[in-house]
A and B are shown apart, each in its own frame.
Chain A
Amino acid sequence: MKLTDFESAMLAGEFGEPRRQAMQQLVSVGSFFDAGDMVEVSQAHIMGDTESLGESGVRYLEALAAYPEEQRRVAVPTLTDPRGVDQAKYRGLKQRSSSAFLELRAVSALRSLGILMTDTCINYQTFQAPIPGQHVAFGDTGVVIYTNSICAARSNFEGGPAALAAALTGRTPRYGYHLDGNRRGTCLFELDFEPADFAEWGALGALIGSQAGSYWAVPVVQLKATPSSDDLKHFGAAMASYGSVALFHLPGITPEAPDVASVFDGPPPGTHLLRRDAIETYYRSFERHEDRVDVVVFAAPQLSLLEIQQLAELLEGRRVHEHTALVVATNPEVKAAADRLGITGIIEEAGGMLLSGVCFYQMYARELGQANGWVRLLTNSAKLCNIITGYGYRPAIAPMEVCVDAAIRGRM
């Protein structure tokens, strides 16, 4: 790879060991993907929950935190993905105190690197959405696909170590979605229906992601509907989860796709027509928990303030069944707004729990389920359905209204 003098100096250790290690990792990954050089990034976003980090990852962060400040501080504004524990609520969820302690150690180390502990996978809805053409190094696949597709900024999926390396150096290898040529459409989808709610948007993303099938596919989707930010959040997060897809185009809606013809090199490929019955088939691929629902989860991605308001309106004046838990996850900023606006109180009076700075599947989900006896899980998140079976749950998916009704009745 061609490196600038500054990048070569970082690689030689002239700016300290943390930046040397970071550059070494970036060069290794860049060489793997045949990157010609590095690109400067203006922001980073790091996934670093302790279930993923483990003891070894936390020790790695603590070792970085022990270096002098001028060597360890990140070079660009850097945000964090959700954590594994809500320190105010973990005891009520029967999470281990050892997990909470490991989280405190990780947070302390990350803070000492100058990282902003935003603990969110909806930074684009909460803090600052990137602008078209901006190069960033974001973790969380839902964040990346929204950043690339809706914001028309440029990021690859950056796993925690790579995002941290980008944060320390202000660089990432120039490959994948930093390059114009990889942002062209590769497959075309058309719908004969309009998704009706977040669950259907997620299901649609799941179907397209599954068909697209790889990180390097760029689906182009012709919509009849005009989606909201939350619709596209569920759509993109599910597509990224099921297909490892990092970019899609919506002709007439997303910035890089004024029309179908302009996003393909050459004539558009044949159209995959998706009918509503494909959504119903997707729903039927999961069980229906007609005897009992153990836990109803609204998360993955974290909820926006508008989603939480909608949920609170459905819960107001009702009471969650004694055998069922209702768990909602958002970030600290949205939680504070919900507290201030009286929305949290409505959810809690109904027996629900609004968690801050976490997301369900990142919360030591296996231990969480075992400690609380949660197996039959209901959610409106297709992304969560895809992830959570590996943790021993039996998920089902339904619209928010159906999920709330099931939480009240204790069954679907």
Chain B
Amino acid sequence: MEDRVFYGHVGIGKKVSGVALVAKDNFSARYDLDREKGLFSRSSHRLHGESYVGKIVILETAKGGVATAWMLAEMKSRGMAPAGLVLNLSNPVIAQGAAFAELSFIDRFAVDITSVVRSGELVTLNPQSGCLVVHAERTWTESSAGM
């Protein structure tokens, strides 16, 4: 098995690695999260009950609401944020929030990114190159993150 590499648009933030948390569903920090507990709390969300803290969260697109722009920084200040965020298609609010929070973020891939990465896989997100690497290895090392 080799690493799988996917390119999106150049993103925001620094290179980061972590465990992927993936669903074909959308994202809003206000609508979907219990930010105190670090869980997806919306009962109809496909990640309901899952912890997002420290994960690379990979979803479809942004929901309505502008609160996410402040909330990403607030979550990060308490160590209760995802390590990075990946969407098929962003709206302005997620990009603004990522810029303010300095949270790693990419969107606009050539493929449906939620269908080619599985929850639990180790991934590296490099916003400067717009690149997402899905590692073949189950344990991340410096050498496996080369892009």
Shortest CB-to-CB span from B32 to chain A, Å, is: 5
Decide if the interface of chain A is mainly helix, strand, loop or mixed.
Answer: helix
Asked if A32 and B95 make an inter-chain contact with CB atoms under 8 angstroms apart, the answer reads: yes
With an 8 A cutoff between CB atoms, is B65 at the interface? yes
Contacts of B92 in A (CB 8 A): 29, 33, 156-159, 162, 176, 215
Q: How many residues of A contact B (CB 8 A)?
A: 49
**Residues 96-126 of B at the A interface (beta carbon under 8 Å):** 96-97, 99-100
Q: In the complex the two chains form, what is the Cα distance from A209 to B45 in whole Å?
A: 17
With an 8 A cutoff between CB atoms, is B23 at the interface? no
With an 8 A cutoff between CB atoms, is B31 at the interface? yes
**Residues 366-397 of A at the B interface (beta carbon under 8 Å):** 366, 383, 386-387, 389-392
Asked if B64 and A242 make an inter-chain contact with CB atoms under 8 angstroms apart, the answer reads: yes
Decide if the interface of chain B is mainly helix, strand, loop or mixed.
Answer: mixed
Asked if A28 and B12 make an inter-chain contact with CB atoms under 8 angstroms apart, the answer reads: yes
Asked if B91 and A161 make an inter-chain contact with CB atoms under 8 angstroms apart, the answer reads: no
**Residues 210-265 of A at the B interface (beta carbon under 8 Å):** 213-216, 240-245
With an 8 A cutoff between CB atoms, is B16 at the interface? no
Known: A54-B77, A55-B77, A161-B100. A139 touches B12 (CB 8 A): no
Asked if A387 and B66 make an inter-chain contact with CB atoms under 8 angstroms apart, the answer reads: no
Known: A25-B96, A29-B96. A160 touches B12 (CB 8 A): no
Contacts of B67 in A (CB 8 A): 47, 49, 51-52, 159-160, 362
Asked if A32 and B65 make an inter-chain contact with CB atoms under 8 angstroms apart, the answer reads: no
Instruction: Mark contacts of B19-36 with chain A using CB atoms, 8 A cut-off: 1 yes-contact digit, 0 otherwise.
Output: 000000010001111100
Known: A28-B99, A53-B70. A215 touches B62 (CB 8 A): yes
Shortest CB-to-CB span from A377 to chain B, Å, is: 14
Which of B41, B62, B96 is within 8 Å of A392, CB to CB? Answer: B41
**Residues 74-90 of B at the A interface (beta carbon under 8 Å):** 74, 77-78, 89-90
Asked if A244 and B64 make an inter-chain contact with CB atoms under 8 angstroms apart, the answer reads: yes
Q: In the complex the two chains form, what is the Cα distance from A161 to B99 in whole Å?
A: 9
Which of A33, A140, A214, A366 is within 8 Å of B66, CB to CB? Answer: A140
With an 8 A cutoff between CB atoms, is A48 at the interface? yes
Number of A-B contacts defined by CB within 8 Å: 137
Asked if A56 and B74 make an inter-chain contact with CB atoms under 8 angstroms apart, the answer reads: yes
Closest residue on chain B to residue A81 by CB atoms: B66
Closest residue on chain A to residue B100 by CB atoms: A161
Q: In the complex the two chains form, what is the Cα distance from A213 to B41 in whole Å?
A: 22
Asked if A141 and B33 make an inter-chain contact with CB atoms under 8 angstroms apart, the answer reads: no
Asked if A25 and B99 make an inter-chain contact with CB atoms under 8 angstroms apart, the answer reads: yes
Instruction: Mark contacts of A45-68 with chain B using CB atoms, 8 A cut-off: 1 yes-contact digit, 0 otherwise.
Output: 001110111111100100000000
**Residues 32-70 of B at the A interface (beta carbon under 8 Å):** 32-34, 41-45, 61-70
Closest residue on chain B to residue A31 by CB atoms: B10
Q: In the complex the two chains form, what is the Cα distance from A55 to B70 in whole Å?
A: 11
Asked if B89 and A216 make an inter-chain contact with CB atoms under 8 angstroms apart, the answer reads: yes
Shortest CB-to-CB span from A29 to chain B, Å, is: 5
Which of B11, B26, B45, B69 is within 8 Å of A160, CB to CB? Answer: B69
Asked if B62 and A159 make an inter-chain contact with CB atoms under 8 angstroms apart, the answer reads: no
Q: In the complex the two chains form, what is the Cα distance from A159 to B115 in whole Å?
A: 29
Shortest CB-to-CB span from B107 to chain A, Å, is: 9
Asked if A390 and B42 make an inter-chain contact with CB atoms under 8 angstroms apart, the answer reads: yes
Asked if A32 and B66 make an inter-chain contact with CB atoms under 8 angstroms apart, the answer reads: no
Q: In the complex the two chains form, what is the Cα distance from A383 to B31 in whole Å?
A: 11
Shortest CB-to-CB span from A25 to chain B, Å, is: 5
Asked if B73 and A56 make an inter-chain contact with CB atoms under 8 angstroms apart, the answer reads: yes
Contacts of A156 in B (CB 8 A): 92
Shortest CB-to-CB span from A172 to chain B, Å, is: 10
Contacts of B66 in A (CB 8 A): 47, 139-141, 157-160
Contacts of B71 in A (CB 8 A): 52, 54
Which of A57, A162, A176, A241 is within 8 Å of B73, CB to CB? Answer: A57
Contacts of B95 in A (CB 8 A): 29, 32-33
9 A-B interface contacts by CB (under 8 A): A32-B95, A32-B99, A156-B92, A157-B93, A240-B64, A244-B64, A389-B43, A389-B44, A390-B31
> Hey, which bits of chain B sit against chain A, CB under 8 A?
9-12, 26, 30-34, 41-45, 61-71, 73-74, 77-78, 89-93, 95-97, 99-100
Known A-B contacts: A241-B63, A244-B64. Give 12 more (CB < 8 A). Answer: A29-B96, A32-B11, A33-B92, A53-B70, A54-B70, A141-B64, A157-B66, A157-B93, A159-B66, A215-B61, A240-B64, A361-B30
